[in-house]
Amino acid sequence: MEKQLEHKIKEAFQKQDESFDYEKKDELWNRISGHVSRAKVVPAFWRVEAVILAFKTEEYYRFTTKC
């Protein structure tokens, strides 16, 4: 009997989850996408930095080998 009650409770919550309409979904998406795009910008910045550093290192290497 307990199992039957628990099964009924589980079904009730599952139905509630499936039919739940979240009204502020656009506002929340704006927050999420803001975080996601910031997270993309940071690695991009470091990739550019790495390329610049590689060029500078190469130039320095050439300079020191010429001397």
Asked if 11 interacts with other proteins (CB under 8 A), we say yes
Asked if 31 interacts with other proteins (CB under 8 A), we say yes
Q: How many whole angstroms separate alpha carbon 48 and alpha carbon 54?
A: 10
Host H or E run for residue 1: none
User: 41-56 burial, b if ≥16 CB within 10 A, otherwise e?
Assistant: eeeeeeeeeeeeeeee
Asked if 8 interacts with other proteins (CB under 8 A), we say yes
CB of 37 to other proteins, least distance (A): 8
Residues making contact with other proteins (CB under 8 A): 1-2, 4-6, 8-22, 24-25, 28-29, 31-33, 35-37, 39-40
